[in-house]
Amino acid sequence: MNTTKSSKLFAEAQLHMPGGVNSPVRAFNSVGRDPLYIASAAGAKMRDADGNEFIDYIGSWGPMIVGHAHPRVIRAIQEAAESGTSFGASNEKEIALAKLIKKFVPSVEIVRMVNSGTEATMSAMRLARGFTGRDKIIKFEGCYHGHGDSFLIKAGSGVATLGLPDSPGVTKSTAADTLTARYNDIESVYELVESNKGAVAAIFIEPVGGNMGCVPARKEFLQALRDLCDAEKILLIFDEVMTGFRLAKGGAQELYGIAPDLTTFGKIIGGGLPVGAYGGRAEIMKMIAPSGPVYQAGTLSGNPLAMTAGLETLKIIEETNDFYAKLEEKSAYLENGMKDLLKKANLNYTINRVGSMFTLFLWMRTWLILIRQKLRIRRNLQIISIRCSNRAFICRRRSLRRVLFRIAHSEEDLDATLAAFEKSL
Ligand code: PLP
């Protein structure tokens, strides 16, 4: 594959930006090659600066669930742009998107728009502290909730890919207020709550772990968290930045039938433009300024272009017959195809999959096991270049980089992916 232009661009970028990129995983460090510079994308395909075409399973790390450059989304953005790109004042689209989010996710009674998933989780944390009058939060090893200081403790995603479970720059006092428990291990949560009686404001969790590879929570574990939070007056916060509108219209909480007190969103609700949101029970959300004393604001929050892209994306989901059934069918096709090929190649790996999120791994339930598996996979399946936060891959005709999913993949794309997978094995 000729990647001369991408390599040249990367050499130039390194002179101007930290590591040449504006977000760490884009540097492709753990793939062991220079990053690709993407020139265009449409449907399930991406084209780089050198003209190489890829079947994309990253989907911009989640937002592009209806495919890249969907004609309806592009048209809506163009029309909205004609009327102005930012007003610093309210616009109608904010209401429309809020209404649709509430319709999709019934636990959300009131919602506040922000600009990213990180902002959503940071704001939800402040709100939880303001509402409960408590300081500490519990998060789980391997879960990623954006790059807010309090969350960069034993985090997943790019933080783990770079081998930086904790980040310099996070003060000891901030870190002291973040307690970390083990995913799917309720005893570890009970212990923390017991030894910090009356001090825990919230438990944050990715209800299906996506930033340590795809690691689903067990239903009884989530139910036990719900019961514990009710008993101890702790807020249960589902971080659905990745799972929201992906696993079902109502996200993971619909799938599991468990309602959190607050939910954080991002990715898909922006349809490819920068949007995040947090919402939940009205009693809690009313604490946010200006209806309450917990301050949170944003120059570009509710931006008309971003609202338009998100709104159109959610409308496409709503208006497409059997959207999630189709996504499931495609994901299952790929999973089954890969499983057959692994069996044929006598390789004892499996796939963790929940809907359109999946990872090639051995079955795992905790972060620790994941790290061991990761090392083993690196050793044994280097050709496939599995990366740590393995929820996505780009697949080229001959090579398979990294694994996730969208409605835009055709049968032909899926078969080409399986053929590449077989060759890689
Ligand atoms: N929460 C989860 C579960 C995520 O996966 C991410 C990003 O990958 C975030 C929060 C942070 O979102 P953003 O990158 O939009 O700040």
Ligand 1 nearest-atom number relative to CA 146: 11
Closest CA to 264 of 251, 248, 254: 251
* Residues 397, 282: Cα–Cα separation, whole Å: 50
What integer pLDDT is reported at residue 350 of this predicted model? 74
Taking the CB of residue 160, how many other CB atoms lie within 10 A of it? 24
Ligand 1 nearest-atom number relative to CA 267: 15
**Paired residues of 140 in beta bridges:** 181
Closest CA to 266 of 93, 77, 122, 168: 122
What is the SS3 assignment for 16-52?
CCHHHCCCHHHHCHHHCCCCCCEEEEEECEEEECCCC
Q: Are 99 and 245 in contact (CB under 8 A)?
A: no
Catalytic residue ranges: 144, 239, 267
Around 268, how many Cα atoms within 13 Å sit in the side-chain half-sphere? 29
* Residues 304, 31: Cα–Cα separation, whole Å: 37
3-state secondary structure of 227: helix
Ligand 1 is surrounded, with C-beta below 6 A, by 61, 116-118, 121, 144-146, 157, 206, 210-211, 239, 241-242, 266, 276
3-state secondary structure of 98: helix
Q: For 262-276, give the DSSP string.
A: EEEE-GGGGTTSS-E
Q: Which helix (H) or strand (E) holds 421?
A: helix 411-424
What's this model's pTM, rounded to 2 decimal places?
A: 0.91
pLDDT means per 10 residues in the chain (425 residues)?
93 96 85 85 93 88 95 98 97 98 98 98 98 97 94 73 69 93 97 97 96 92 98 98 96 98 98 98 98 98 98 97 94 93 82 87 52 50 36 39 62 86 76
Atom 7, ligand 1: which residue's CA is nearest? 146
Closest CA to 8 of 46, 49, 45, 39: 49
Secondary-structure breakdown of the chain: helix, strand, coil percentages, each rounded to the nearest 5: 45, 15, 40
* Residues 335, 360: Cα–Cα separation, whole Å: 9
Centre of ligand 1 to C-alpha 379, Å, is 29
Q: Are 268 and 61 in contact (CB under 8 A)?
A: no
For ligand 1, pick from 25, 145, 240 the residue to mutate: most ligand atoms within 8 Å of CB. Answer: 145
What integer pLDDT is reported at residue 329 of this predicted model? 94
Around 89, how many Cα atoms within 13 Å sit in the side-chain half-sphere? 2
Q: Are 412 and 400 in contact (CB under 8 A)?
A: no
Sort strands 235-239 and 262-265 into parallel, antiparallel or unpaired.
Answer: parallel
